[in-house]
A = this chain, B = another copy of it.
């Protein structure tokens, strides 16, 4: 059941030399004669020697693995981010360990505890929608674990952040709805305490106000689990369509919520974009082919992942403590399609 691990000792015994010589020869040390190196290398080849990374980790106090915690990998945005992370991590010889919180704070805490106990060298995280208290992360951070936040960030620690221009993205999308003649724009969003929620809601409100209207809080529905459970979105949507003044457009402030709204409207037979306009954040691959094709705000997910891992590795591999942290804000793309063209 186990690898019959060939070690440096086996080579040493086979060749009748010491382990230190073997070690040095394998590492191509200058103090070893060319001849000895040749023999050792040959023997290592023959025995299929592979160094044991665990022994190395024990010595070096690093595992060359980093953890990524997201709420859900079966979500295009996050899987694209992970692709970005992975594309760079593997080239640099790091393992990526992926963990899902499923939007549960409890799960996030236990996962993190587990990961930390497995000696990860660093962490990239987008916190769960339930996460308000950051103590679990602070504890790790002040113990010396390098952390990079992305998407749903926390400003409570002095570290790197990678996000998009949430305010502007929501602003642009809302303005787009207004310009297309929608009057009563409702908003489906995540937990109120999340960074992305605050910023996006602020953008939405600003756009409403700039158009000379008053913000109606009844039109803002908070889904505390980001729509991972369909009934959450359904409940919110039901409340919206039963309002005295029924909204004529919806903006979904995250992937699951946007598609959840679409799903709901389709089931109810409410026509998009005639009866109800729909736009939202989404990195889904098929928004273009949905019925109707969906207007979206697309985040540069792959790029976000790359940025996050680059920042993290820089911290991990830095000799001296890192003092300067960046707050990296990327641009989103507004893609206009049929779901918001009222006159179609």
State the A residues within 8 Å of B (CB).
Answer: 1-5, 48, 50-55, 57-58, 61-65, 73-74, 76, 79-80, 82-83, 86, 90, 93, 95-100, 111, 114-119, 143-146, 259, 262-263, 266, 284-286, 289-293, 315-316, 318, 321
Contact = CB atoms under 8 A, between A and B. Distances in A.
A55 B58 contact: yes
Contacts of A80: 74
A54 B119 contact: yes
A2 to B, nearest CB: 5
A300 to B, nearest CB: 15
Nearest to A262: B289
A315 B98 CA distance: 23
A146 B290 contact: no
7 contacts: A1-B315, A48-B143, A51-B117, A54-B54, A73-B73, A74-B76, A90-B111
A117 B53 contact: yes
A335 to B, nearest CB: 16
* Residue with the greatest number of chain B CB neighbours at <10 A, chosen from A62, A95, A144: A95
A4 B145 CA distance: 10
Contacts of A93: 114
A74 B72 CA distance: 12
Nearest to A119: B54
A30 to B, nearest CB: 25
A273 B200 CA distance: 40
Contacts of A119: 3, 52-54
B4 A144 contact: yes
Most buried by B among A63, A74, A145: A74
A296 to B, nearest CB: 13
Contacts of A321: 1
Given A111-B90, A119-B53, A73 B63 contact: no
Residue of A57, A63, A114, A144 most packed against chain B (CB within 10 A): A57
Contacts of A266: 289
A316 B316 CA distance: 33
A64 B115 CA distance: 12
Given A58-B55, A79-B79, A82-B73, A286 B259 contact: yes
The 4 closest A-B pairs by CB, nearest first: A291-B291, A74-B79, A54-B57, A54-B58
Nearest to A290: B289
Nearest to A117: B50
A3 B145 contact: yes
Nearest to A5: B61
A2 B90 contact: no
A83 B74 contact: yes
B284 A1 contact: no
B144 A1 contact: yes
B83 A100 contact: yes
Nearest to A302: B74
